[in-house]
Structure 1
Amino acid sequence: MSAAGAAVPADVDNALAEFQGHLNLIFARARSLWKESAARIHPELQPSGYKLLSFIAREGSTSAHLLAERFEMDKSVVSRQVRMLEDLGLLASRPDDHDGRQRVLTATPTACAVLADIRREYADRLHESLAGLTADEIRAASKVFRHLTEL
């Protein structure tokens, strides 16, 4: 019998159900944080725009094509968000040196400063929330999240 077809002990099944419930809450909280963060930057900024801007700032630069692939978003959605970010002065674009059809997107210094403030605040909140855990417990949680990224 394959591992996928093997019977799962009830305690493991119950633990996985509890884990899945908490994971759903984490996703809901992440969506809420993206919405709050977007509003902190600009009242009209959508959470998807915030996620794109955060990614661009972390990467240094990218293209709309790569953003659409990375976030599995329709190119028209990415294009609208990029245009809004440019209009708000949060994103700069220039022609790609290697492919003039592409644009290289970079976060402006203003965007980078606001994002750094938001990241610091959230890092402080995370540190406070996990303060009761040991380094080994945090590493174990990190291992679980690493496995989840490989789904």
Structure 2
Amino acid sequence: MPTSQDMTTELDPGLLDALQHQVAVFARRAEQTRLGGTGQLRNSMDRAAYLLLNRLDQEGPMGVKALAAGMGIDSSTVTRQVAPLVDTGLVKRTSHPEDGRAVVLQLSPRGLARLEEVRSSRRQLMVEVTDGWTQDERESFCNLLTRFNTALSARQSGHGPAGAAGAARAAAETTAETAGATPAE
């Protein structure tokens, strides 16, 4: 069975170099613009807040542990990232209906309104950035980027791109993170 090194040498090294370079440029550009949208809402919500609010919107109220597990991050990280969202009224903390000691996080009406504003602004950015692209090109790019993110997530979770369980989990995570996204987003 070929090793990862063998497969790398079988593929076009120039293409792999170009791919890794473009991914690095994309990461830098995404961080510079924070892909925050357009107009007044540009850069108005950080990536962590957006992903947390989006997850709560798509999956509904949940505990810190479930939110952390679904996002593939530590519970303490979620707790730290949620605190300012609670302080600003975008997320509500409530007691679990069956276990009053447990905390449930829920998107507040204000949080949903804010998330919709940011989504709209980010959609407009995607329209501008992909101006001149066809609908099929947008869909293809979205599908390939989702596939790329799924493979990265599977690799990060220790299951590698070939691990069926890891790939399935990564696909679920990536789908939940991008749920509700349309190709133009």
Measured against the shorter chain, the TM-score band is 0.7 to 0.9
Letter in 2 for 1:55: R
Please give the alpha-carbon distance, in whole angstroms, between the structure 2 residues aligned to 1:34 and 1:125.
8
Please give the alpha-carbon distance, in whole angstroms, between the structure 1 residues aligned to 2:90 and 2:20.
36
Structure 1 28/69 Cα, relative in aligned 2: closer, same or farther at 3 Å? farther
- Percent identity, aligned pairs only, is 25
Letter in 2 for 1:23: V
The answer (yes or no) to whether the contact 1:68–1:78 under 8 Å persists in 2 is yes
The answer (yes or no) to whether the contact 1:34–1:50 under 8 Å persists in 2 is no
Return 121-130 or 57-66, whichever deviates more: 57-66
Please give the alpha-carbon distance, in whole angstroms, between the structure 2 residues aligned to 1:135 and 1:79.
39
Q: Which residue of 2 aligns with 1:104?
A: 104
Q: Which residue of 2 aligns with 1:134?
A: 134
- Unaligned runs of 5+ residues in structure 1 are none
Q: Which residue of 2 aligns with 1:8?
A: 10
SS at match of 1:150: helix
Aligned residue runs from structure 1 range 71-150, under 5 A: 71-150=71-150
Q: Which residue of 2 aligns with 1:65?
A: 65
Please give the alpha-carbon distance, in whole angstroms, between the structure 1 residues aligned to 2:77 and 2:98.
25
Letter in 2 for 1:126: M
User: 1:118-145 CA deviation, whole Å, 9 max, x = no partner?
Assistant: 1111101101221212233223323322
TM-score for both structures, normalised by structure 1: 0.74
Give the greater-gyration-radius structure (CA): 1
Q: Which residue of 1 aligns with 2:44?
A: 40
Structure 1 68/31 Cα, relative in aligned 2: closer, same or farther at 3 Å? farther
The answer (yes or no) to whether the contact 1:38–1:49 under 8 Å persists in 2 is no
User: 1:47-78 CA deviation, whole Å, 9 max, x = no partner?
Assistant: 53443233223333222112222333332232
Structure 1 72/19 Cα, relative in aligned 2: closer, same or farther at 3 Å? same
- Unaligned runs of 5+ residues in structure 2 are 152-185
SS at match of 1:89: coil
Please give the alpha-carbon distance, in whole angstroms, between the structure 2 residues aligned to 1:65 and 1:38.
31
Question: Which portions of structure 1, spanning 4 or more consecutive aligned residues, are displaced by more than 4 angstroms?
Answer: 34-39
